């Protein structure tokens, strides 16, 4: 699931000045995607790499991928737009980039705040398995994280787990409870492109086995009032997710893309001592969401 950029493609990307993107509402404009695709497909080995990426995300047994863009990040820098335009062009080969948060730009910063709830994405503690926008009727089909700076103290590896494989290991009774519309978590306001609030919702959405979203966030176990039976079923799922997890450290320039219909994600705790690290040197990720095209079964 780790994809290295071929040297011929990498060399061409160093000199590729993609134009500034335009948005249609909160979505990347079709004209921008067409321009990016025309520019990118004209360079060596791009289409081969894009096909490898799509297969890793949607092919048999797939569900996530990490594009190794470290050399590009080092050469182009991550402070300007050139590197982000390339990452956006690569993401647009998978699905349509968009921001569900009107008050944020297309790419959203996820930094480190030592006074934040430790379990949040910008906190310093363990960020348990979850899907993003779990309480929306139309969650993003893909969530993506671009590593600008890893934790300088060496903590915070990413964790991922095949949600459907975890569900398959549960008892029939447990799965039946997870399919009931009895779960809720979080708030819902000032969002775009993700449908309506879904409250309560089932963790299993009624699709055939191995299909559809597994609407789970481990935070619901501590922060939502659930019946004992429903809470226990969710705890069993949480255990299976941990049992099947993969763990790796994102390095500078690594671009993680997760198919939310297949995998859930999270993060181990950052290394202790974050308060001693200057804010400008702490771990920094950029997040971008993707919506599958209406005529594309890629996220199924």
Which band of pLDDT confidence, cut at 50, 70 and 90, is reported for residue 80? confident
User: The pTM is what?
Assistant: 0.96
Residue 226 dihedral angles phi and psi, to the nearest 5°: -120, 155
Q: Which of 194, 206, 219 is nearest to 139 (CA)?
A: 194
Contact assessment for residue 90 and residue 255, using Cβ atoms and an 8 Å cutoff: yes
Cα angle: 207, vertex 213, 214; to 5 degrees: 100
- Bridge-based pairing of strands 263-267 and 254-259 is unpaired
Contact assessment for residue 133 and residue 245, using Cβ atoms and an 8 Å cutoff: no
The yes-or-no verdict on residue 205 having pLDDT over 70 is: yes
Domains along the sequence of the chain with CATH: 2-290 (3.60.130.10)
Condensed to tens digits (0 to 9), the pLDDT of residues 25-50 reads 999 999 999 999 999 999 999 999 99
**CA–CA separation, 143 and 133 (whole Å):** 10
**CA–CA separation, 37 and 34 (whole Å):** 5
Contact assessment for residue 231 and residue 149, using Cβ atoms and an 8 Å cutoff: no
Distance of CA 23 to the CA centre of its chain: 20
Contact assessment for residue 143 and residue 265, using Cβ atoms and an 8 Å cutoff: yes
pLDDT at 124: 97
Buried b or exposed e, range 179-198, using 16+ CB within 10 angstroms: ebebbbbbeeeebebbeeeb
Which band of pLDDT confidence, cut at 50, 70 and 90, is reported for residue 300? low
Condensed to tens digits (0 to 9), the pLDDT of residues 119-153 reads 999 999 999 999 999 999 999 999 999 999 999 99
DSSP state of 52: H
Contact assessment for residue 169 and residue 163, using Cβ atoms and an 8 Å cutoff: no
Span 219-228, average pLDDT: 92
Contact assessment for residue 145 and residue 250, using Cβ atoms and an 8 Å cutoff: yes
Which band of pLDDT confidence, cut at 50, 70 and 90, is reported for residue 167? very high
Which band of pLDDT confidence, cut at 50, 70 and 90, is reported for residue 296? low
**CA–CA separation, 124 and 30 (whole Å):** 38
Contact assessment for residue 178 and residue 212, using Cβ atoms and an 8 Å cutoff: no
Contact assessment for residue 206 and residue 125, using Cβ atoms and an 8 Å cutoff: no
HSE on the CB side for 174, CA within 13 Å?
Answer: 16
């Amino acid at each position: 699931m780790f994809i290295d950029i071929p040297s011929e493609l990498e060399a061409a990307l160093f000199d590729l000045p993609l134009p500034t993107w335009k948005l249609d509402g909160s979505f990347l404009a079709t004209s921008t995607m067409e321009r990016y695709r025309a520019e990118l497909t004209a360079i060596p080995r791009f289409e081969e790499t894009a096909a490898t990426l799509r297969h890793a995300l949607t092919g048999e047994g797939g569900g996530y991928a990490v594009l190794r863009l470290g050399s590009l990040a080092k050469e182009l820098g991550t402070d300007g737009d050139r590197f982000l335009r390339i990452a956006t062009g690569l993401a647009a080969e998978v699905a349509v980039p968009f921001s569900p948060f009107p008050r944020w730009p297309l790419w959203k910063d996820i930094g480190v705040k030592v006074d934040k709830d430790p379990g949040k994405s910008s906190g310093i503690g363990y960020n348990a398995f979850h899907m993003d926008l779990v309480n929306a009727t139309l969650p993003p089909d893909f969530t993506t994280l671009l590593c600008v700076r890893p934790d300088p103290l060496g903590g915070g590896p990413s964790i991922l787990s095949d949600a459907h494989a975890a569900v398959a290991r549960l008892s029939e009774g447990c799965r039946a409870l997870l399919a009931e519309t009895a779960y809720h978590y979080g708030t819902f306001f000032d969002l775009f492109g993700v449908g309506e609030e879904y409250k309560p919702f089932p963790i299993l959405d009624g699709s055939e086995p191995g299909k559809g979203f597994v609407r789970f966030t481990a935070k619901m176990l501590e922060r939502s009032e659930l019946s004992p039976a429903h809470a226990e079923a969710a705890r069993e799922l949480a255990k299976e997710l941990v049992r099947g997890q993969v763990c790796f450290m994102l390095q500078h320039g690594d671009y993680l893309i997760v198919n939310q219909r297949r995998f859930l994600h999270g993060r181990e705790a950052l290394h202790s001592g974050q308060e001693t690290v200057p804010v400008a040197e702490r771990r920094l990720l950029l997040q971008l969401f993707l919506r599958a095209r209406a005529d594309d079964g890629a996220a199924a």
